[in-house]
Amino acid sequence: MNSLPIWLLHVSRTEQITPHMARITLTGDDVRGFSLEEADQQVKLYFPRPGQSRPVLPEVTETTDLTTWYQAYGAIPEDERPWMRSYTIRAHDPATNSLTFDFVLHRHAGPATRWAMNAREGDCLGVFGPTDYFARPKPLSSSVEEADWVLLAGDDAAVPGMATIIESLPPGKRAFAFVEVQDAADEQPFTTGADLTTTWLHRGAAEPGHSEALAETVRAATLPDGEGFAWIAGEAGLVRRIRRHLVDDRGLPKSRIEFSGYWRLKLTQDDAPTPEDLAEAQERLAEAQAQSS
């Protein structure tokens, strides 16, 4: 057994579920015995460079630790080093030892989109996780159960994670989902026993991240009394604006908001963090330390 959960899995199925989202299932013996205990469980995916049949990753042994592995990963020549991106596990099927991921097919294709658009049965992908290294200070399920109502807001990239949360909501839990996609063809049905109200927003021809419809709709929304919990994900700047509104205008404590800037306008995960990214990271660290103390 590897000391780090780093797997090489292979494509077993591809499906186009909306015009701008592909669903890809990966399988392999490494998934055997795995259990998905929390919704919105993120992992790192490693995409092979052009000409590679599999991503070039450092060897993992029983004694390999996280720091040593990442140092070895960083030492791989840049033109050989796999692209790394964060993704949410959409589903896990223990009967077939498989994990499923949903990929947004962006107009300006990056490495993940290019891989997803061309994925074929047998193609190889690296997966790091799930692991406690990426775990939340407080389980998402606990935050949801403690709340009287739940607000979820995000763009296309947030749909897979949002869907797993909605599916896991307790029966009857009051919940509000605000989702921005390109048009009605990109809407997806959510399955839940919760008391869910979903508002779909269509940005049309506008570039992702440039529309203010999602932020404006959340600002105008009527929310119930009681203790709320919010989950926000998508373009980093949009996420920050919605979070600022919930804290400053709605009085929602920061400890009751979970937020993730999945992507950044004109930047990728390969680019250096901005001052806003660094400030956000410091705030996350402070909140994690406060919750663990």
Spell out the long-range contacts of 135-143 with Cβ–Cβ below 8 A and sequence spacing 24 or more.
Answer: 136/38, 136/258, 137/287, 137/288, 137/291, 137/292, 138/291, 139/38, 140/38, 140/39, 140/40, 140/165, 140/231, 140/258, 141/38, 141/39, 141/168, 143/229, 143/256, 143/258
Q: Which residues of the chain have pLDDT under 70?
A: 1-2, 209-210, 264-293
Q: Which residues in the chain belong to E strands, given as ranges?
A: 6-18, 21-27, 42-47, 83-88, 91-93, 98-104, 124-128, 149-154, 174-181, 195-202, 228-235, 257-263
- Give CA 210 to chain center in angstroms: 20
Report helix, strand or coil for 179. Answer: strand
pTM of the model: 0.87
| Domains observed in the chain | 6-134 (2.40.30.10), 140-292 (3.40.50.80)
Burial 249-287 (b: 16+ CB within 10 A, else e): eeebeeebbbbbbbbbeeeebeeeeeeeeeebeeeeeeb
Our CA angle for 189, 190, 194, nearest 5°, is 145
Q: Which residue has the tokens 């047998």?
A: 122
Give 17-35 pLDDT, tens digit per residue: 999 999 999 999 888 777 7
Question: What pLDDT shows up at residue 209?
Answer: 66
Give 222-281 pLDDT, tens digit per residue: 999 999 999 999 999 999 999 999 999 999 999 999 999 888 665 555 545 555 645 555
